[in-house]
Amino acid sequence: MRASGILMHLTSLPGPYGVGTMGKAAYEFVDFLEAAGQKYWQILPLCPTGYGDSPYQSFSTFAGNPYLIDLDTLVDQGLLRKDEIEAYCWQERENKVCYRLLYENRGKVLHKAFERFRPDEKYEAYVAQQQDWLPDYALFMTLKEVYPGGDWLSWPEDLRLRREDALTQAAKTYDAEIRYQYFLQYTFRCQWEALRAYAKGKEISIIGDVPIYVPLDSADVWANYDLFQLGEDRRPKLVAGCPPDGFTADGQLWGNPLYDWETMKATGYAWWLRRLGAAATLFDVVRLDHFRGFESYWAVPAGETTAKNGSWQPGPGMDFIGVLKKKLPELDFIAEDLGFLTPEVKQMQKDSGYPGMKVLEFAFDSREPSDYLPYRYTTNSICYLGTHDNMTMQQWFDEAKPEDVAYAKEYMGLNQEEGYVWGMLRGGMGAVSKLFVGQMQDYLGLGAEGRMNFPGLLSDANWTWRAKDGVFTAELAKRIYALTKLYGRI
């Protein structure tokens, strides 16, 4: 069945407390999606953000981000007072997240809620169900407060190497802070399950994102070091990246530790099954980030300053994909198959049966025909106008080469009366792909100010865009609905 959806991360929702949350604005956005005839809401990873405030650099792949906890809901539950929230400054600009203010103030308010919280049977059941990751994560986050300013490799040796006596003693010493972390995760889960149930009642499915890699400074690596290519000192021997290409002469040096796929296979990919099984409790569809990395991945010797001296190493391939299909048959996946695609990667995507991504913004290179031109799409694909890593469509029209813009206008039949961006949205809606996903920024007609992320750039421009209050109007929903209906996606 043909359908469409909108990409809009939770942090980008409007609201009074500096960042989008699982509160009133989220429910109103679900209502907007329903009115606009959309069947999918795509978001970015929900994990706690780490270095650079990126949802793709998280302290845990299993945990939820406490920044997304709605404070007004805690007021309704009697765990906070309104004046306690309003005592803090939450934002400098309405349409931009200030992570500094969140870092300084969020914990103070959430600690007050924790002090008033009284565990019940539902809480105890949640903690019991999450024993395969929650104790390690809670201790990890607590120790990061005890030993600030560095990653876990800077901790005392007994804790760094996870000696049992040291872990047991730390758990006793910091019991209150560990319980606080439990409270945050329980609260996140309760609010998320309520929001997801509301979306389900409106027949809106949620597409989540699972990054292929986890950062070194994470509970995942600290607690599962044997699953990564680390030395005896627990430091990476090789790190992740991308090779040089026409856009980056030095390649991209991501720095994430690489998986030990032989060990992963020997365990039946148990960690990955737990990871994706956890995702299945949060999302209806999972976008597998950097899908080509499962066929082969670019490995760079640790200590290199660029990615130029890396090499391709074999990934787990269809052996891994086959296990996913067998063990998680109820979970739908999208293969993020962007980047340098070899025949082997294309064959793996085809063999997996997972739909790949077609990004319309990439289609109009006037020098040569592109694989992203709509006439090359197949039904088993997801058409995106752009993603969180790309320019908004208006920015592309403002900054792309004139000959590329001219090519797009000719190919798509664009005109000023309709608007070039809406003409592109129309083209995406009309594609044969079974699902079309448009960014909310493009429906709002935003330029460079609406871009979500600039890959490879550490800046407060990344991950900070927020929609202004009142922009999700009935008129906009009506226009989106009409376009969606015109192309058979209702």
pLDDT in tens, 408-449: 999 999 999 999 999 999 999 999 999 999 999 999 999 999
Contact 89, 105 (CB under 8 A): yes
pLDDT-based confidence at 230, cuts 50/70/90?
very high
- Is 80 exceeded by the pLDDT of residue 490? yes
User: Among the options 158, 250, 389, 404, which is catalytic?
Assistant: 389
- Is 90 exceeded by the pLDDT of residue 50? no
By the 10 Å C-beta count (0-12 exposed, 13-18 middle, 19+ buried), 394 is classed as: buried
* Phi, psi (deg, nearest 5) at residue 265: -65, -40
3-state SS string for 221-232: HHHCHHHECECC
d(Cα 258, Cα 50) in Å, to the nearest integer?
18
Q: What is the mean pLDDT of residues 98-125?
A: 97
d(Cα 420, Cα 409) in Å, to the nearest integer?
8
User: Among the options 31, 34, 289, 304, which is catalytic?
Assistant: 289
- CB under 8 Å to 105, separation ≥6 — which residues? 88, 89, 90
Identity at 347, one-letter amino acid code: Q
How much of the chain, in percent, has pLDDT values that exceed 90?
92
**Whole-model pTM?**
0.96
* Residue 262 falls in the annotated catalytic set: no
* Residue 365 falls in the annotated catalytic set: no
Beta strand spans in 370-421 (E): 381-384
By the 10 Å C-beta count (0-12 exposed, 13-18 middle, 19+ buried), 50 is classed as: buried
User: Among the options 220, 336, 337, 442, which is catalytic?
Assistant: 336
List the single range of 35-49, 391-405, 453-467 with lowest mean pLDDT.
453-467
Residue 11 vs residues 45, 66, 129, 234: alpha-carbon distances, Å: 11, 11, 27, 34
d(Cα 336, Cα 211) in Å, to the nearest integer?
10
Give the model's pLDDT for residue 338.
86
Give the model's pLDDT for residue 367.
75
Contact 465, 432 (CB under 8 A): no
- Is 90 exceeded by the pLDDT of residue 340? no
* Residue 336 falls in the annotated catalytic set: yes
Residue pLDDT, tens place only, 144-170: 999 998 899 999 999 999 999 999 999
- Is 80 exceeded by the pLDDT of residue 339? no
> Structure tokens of 473?
């109007």
Average pLDDT, rounded, for the chain: 96
d(Cα 207, Cα 204) in Å, to the nearest integer?
10
Q: Provide the H-helix boundaries in 131-214.
A: 134-146, 157-160, 164-173, 175-201
Angle at 193 between CA 187 and CA 194, to 5 degrees: 95
Contact 159, 174 (CB under 8 A): no
Contact 448, 391 (CB under 8 A): yes
Q: What is the DSSP letter of 49?
A: B
Identity at 69, one-letter amino acid code: I
Q: Among 286, 251, 256, 228, which Cα is nearest to 40's?
A: 286
Element (H, E) at 240: strand 238-242
Residue 411 vs residues 43, 188, 375, 405, 438: alpha-carbon distances, Å: 30, 46, 11, 10, 19
pLDDT-based confidence at 371, cuts 50/70/90?
confident
Angle at 8 between CA 274 and CA 478, to 5 degrees: 130
Give the model's pLDDT for residue 459.
75
